[in-house]
Amino acid sequence: MKKQILSVVLGSLVSSMAAAAQWGYEGAEGPSHWAEMSSEFDTCATGKNQSPINLTHMVKGDLPALKINYVKGGQQIVNNGHTVQVNYTPGSSLEVDGHKYELKQFHFHTPSENNIEGESFPMEAHFVHADKDGNLAVVAVMFKIGDFNPELEKAWSQMPVIAGDQQQLKHVVSAANLLPQDHNYMRFNGSLTTPPCTEGVSWFVMKGYDTASKEQIEHFAHTMHHNNNRPLQAMNARVVVQ
């Protein structure tokens, strides 16, 4: 199952998941219907630790530092119809509390999927990692409208406008340059925010944020033709630690 989930994370919707259901963000294909489309998507409705959430009522804890070792590795940009994703070459890692994950890809949602104290943001980036056993960790970074983002533009300048298209990037993108300087974070247990909504994902939401120009955020939104954020999910018995 973890190999199947990793295939979804990497953007290659393989096996029965692709054939079973063409999910989306609107109408009969939207989030409220995901669980109806395939038995493999049941967790989208039955799960108790679903993402995204509104991060609020945080509990103070002694969180370990995030050891982020990202090298330039964003070499391919893909429009998979659900998001724009930059695939990363091996060699970049996230280590937390002695546990090491490899950066696989990063992608975007507009508006943000997670909220912080009830605040939604114009755009959110998800840096998706997997360990050697297929366990997943996501670093989430909120984007505000502000200064033009030159690192983001390396990808945006070749953004495929047609679902299914991909491009080899002329200028390799550095994920490190898309992170805020302050690596303080909030942590919670959650899930994939897209089908099959698998749980057991470790989420690390940065307290700091990055910026992009209004035009850059609109470029992404227009390419998607619709919002691509899953609605907020119930917290249930979870806590957010900061």
- Rounded to the nearest angstrom, the gap between the alpha carbon of residue 118 and the centroid of all alpha carbons in its chain is 19
Q: For 15-39, how does the pLDDT look when each residue is reduced to its tens digit (9 = 90+)?
A: 333 434 689 999 999 999 999 999 9
Q: Which residue from 59, 5, 68 is spatially nearest to 195, judged by alpha carbons? A: 5
Instruction: Identify whether the C-beta of residue 66 lies closer than 8 Å to the C-beta of residue 100.
Output: no
What is residue 59's DSSP assignment?
B
Three-state DSSP state, 240: coil
Instruction: Enumerate domains of the chain plus CATH numbers.
Output: 2-224 (3.10.200.10)
Per-residue pLDDT, 132:
95
Tokens of 122: 């114009």
Per-residue pLDDT, 169:
98
Catalytic residue among 33, 82, 129, 226: 82
Q: Is 225 a catalytic residue?
A: no
Query: What predicted TM-score, i.e. pTM, was given to this entire model?
Result: 0.93
What is residue 241's DSSP assignment?
B
Q: Judge whether residue 14 has pLDDT over 80.
A: no
Q: Which is higher by pLDDT, 9 or 70?
A: 70
Q: For 77-122, how does the pLDDT look when each residue is reduced to its tens digit (9 = 90+)?
A: 999 999 999 999 999 999 999 999 999 999 999 999 999 999 999 9
Per-residue pLDDT, 38:
94
Instruction: Identify whether the C-beta of residue 75 lies closer than 8 Å to the C-beta of residue 169.
Output: yes
Lowest mean pLDDT among 5-14, 124-133, 230-239: 5-14
Q: Which residues contact 236 (CB under 8 A, 6 or more apart)?
A: 48, 49
% of the chain residues with pLDDT over 90 = 91
Strands 185-191, 199-212: pairing is antiparallel
